[in-house]
Amino acid sequence: MIISFFSSILIAEGIVGLVGGYGPLAVTAGLFALVALSSQVMPNPAVAVLHSPKAYNTPINLGMSTYPFFMTIAVSASVAFLSPVGHSVNMINMGLGGYRFKDYIEVGLPLTLLVMVVLLIILPDFWPYY
């Protein structure tokens, strides 16, 4: 648990170092992408718990509010559209519907990007960064 916490701090600092100069929307998009990719291979609640320290450490490093980042974690942990492994319902649909892994990527990538764009547009209205 302690190792996981310190690795979350390092990843949060990496996100801030990589896109922090581009503003809070870029940091939010980077965090969204990281968590959404994790959500493709792990259960959604585990992803949310694993990445929650990042939602605390990242805005603290930038002097911002933590609320928009926690909401980003909550939403992006739920976008398991790119892979049949991310959610059990995806596996059931894959078997019964005769879908392939490629089908999930073709449909899931635009849907994931749409969720990210909508989140980036409406998030600051409900939970301001400062």
Q: Give residue 112's pLDDT.
A: 95
pTM score, two decimals?
0.85
* Rounded average pLDDT over 17-45: 87
Residue percentage of the chain with pLDDT more than 90: 40
Give residue 3's pLDDT: 57
- Write down the pLDDT at residue 35: 92
Give the count of beta carbons closer than 10 Å to the beta carbon of residue 43: 15
In the chain the first and final C-alpha atoms are separated, in Å, by: 30
Q: Which band of pLDDT confidence, cut at 50, 70 and 90, is reported for residue 111?
A: very high
Q: How confident is the model at residue 29 (pLDDT cuts 50, 70, 90)?
A: very high
With bands split at pLDDT 50, 70 and 90, how would you rate the model's confidence at 5? low
If DSSP codes are grouped into helix, strand and coil, which group holds residue 130? Answer: coil
The label of the residue with tokens 């939970």 reads 127
E-assigned strand segments in the chain? none
Domain boundaries, the chain: 2-126
Q: What is the mean pLDDT of residues 78-107?
A: 87
Distances (CA, A) of 16 to 47, 49, 64, 85, 86: 20, 20, 12, 29, 27
pLDDT, residue 92, reads 87
Long-range contacts of 59-63 (CB under 8 A, 24+ apart): 59/129, 61/12, 61/13, 61/16, 61/20, 62/16, 62/20, 62/24, 62/27
CB-based contacts of 75, cutoff 8 Å, min separation 6? 32, 115, 119
